Amino acid sequence: MIPAPFDYVAPSTVDEAISALAEAGEDAKVLAGGQSLLPVLRMRLATPTTLVDLGKVAGLRGVREDGDALVIGSMTTHYDVQRDTLVAEHAALLKAATDTVADPQIRHRGTFGGAIAHADPAGDLLAPVLALGCELVVAGPGGRRTVAAADFFQDMFTTALAADELLVEVRVPKHTGWHAHYEKFNRVAQAWSMVAVAACVRTEAGTIEEARVALTNMGSTPVRAAGVEEALVGCAATAEAIRGAAERAAEGTNPTADGNSDVEYRQHLARVLTGRAVLAAAGS
């Protein structure tokens, strides 16, 4: 299908992009990598009056260190996140999750910030961002503000971004020395996750000292598996102990039934995949 008509704006700075959004109002859409937006436009599931393309905005790409955090520009591609040495060293969970995103073509075009701002609960980057306690830096007419990941994701495809705001960068607390794994279950290769688990643990002498676990597609937003984290701390990094902790994975979740599975099956997957993810991370 052919998209409905719209005005096209290609700003060269963040300020110009914000001005374009403010002028266009709530009917504007932001184009980052376009891997989610363009199909929606072609099917006319979205009919924006204005499309603001961030492709020419300088300074929104790349990964850098800032003290105890990494700063990832919102227009950094999945491909670049995958291959960045700073991400591999200090945020292994992001690399593990990004490795599973779609296929190489999409990873070369799709962007880190675009996937996060899209806020699809089946998307593979939301749970790792939540698990790592990332902060999202948002720019708008009033300047910049920082939003914790736990507050950024508000509902399915809904974030704390206002209509005239942009996600410009993500601050990722360093988890140097932590081991990570992203366990994903889908019906066919390259499909959205039916359920996935982002697990990051710090072990000492065979004991799990700290753990961060979050779930993909177990609610309208990513879900932190607080019960699992609590059960893991101080336990031996053995298969039996980890499986026991993973039994709490479905606590506090609200998965939906669809053509792929019912609620009970998703809850079962959450427990099984959490056990696998934590065991793989602890054994790294």
pLDDT (tens, 9 = 90+) of the chain, 284 residues, equals 789 999 999 999 999 999 999 999 999 999 999 999 999 999 999 999 999 999 999 899 999 999 999 999 999 999 999 999 999 999 999 999 999 999 999 999 999 999 999 999 999 999 999 999 999 999 999 999 999 999 999 999 999 999 999 999 999 999 999 999 999 999 887 788 999 999 999 999 999 999 999 999 999 999 999 999 999 999 999 999 999 999 999 999 999 999 889 999 999 999 999 999 999 999 86
pLDDT the model gives residue 189:
77
Tokens of 188: 């066919």
Contact present, 202 and 177 (Cβ < 8 Å): yes
Say how many C-beta atoms besides its own lie within 10 A of residue 253's C-beta: 17
* Region(s) of the chain under CATH 3.30.465.10: 64-173
Cα distances (angstroms) measured from residue 215 to each of 105, 117, 229, 250: 26, 18, 12, 9
- Residue ranges of the chain that CATH labels 3.30.390.50: 179-282
CATH 3.30.43.10 residue window(s) in the chain? 7-53
Tell how far CA 272 is from the center of its chain: 21
Does 3.30.43.10 match the CATH number of domain 7-53?
yes
Phi, psi of 4 (to 5 degrees): -65, 155
Residue-level pLDDT at 32: 97
Asked if CATH classification 3.30.390.50 holds for the domain at 179-282, the reply, yes or no, is yes
Q: What is the predicted pLDDT for the residue at 24?
A: 94
Task: Read off the tokens for 118.
Answer: 């899209």
The pLDDT value recorded for residue 284 is 62
Q: What architecture (CATH level 2) is domain 64-173?
A: 2-Layer Sandwich (3.30)
Q: Are 170 and 63 in contact (CB under 8 A)?
A: no
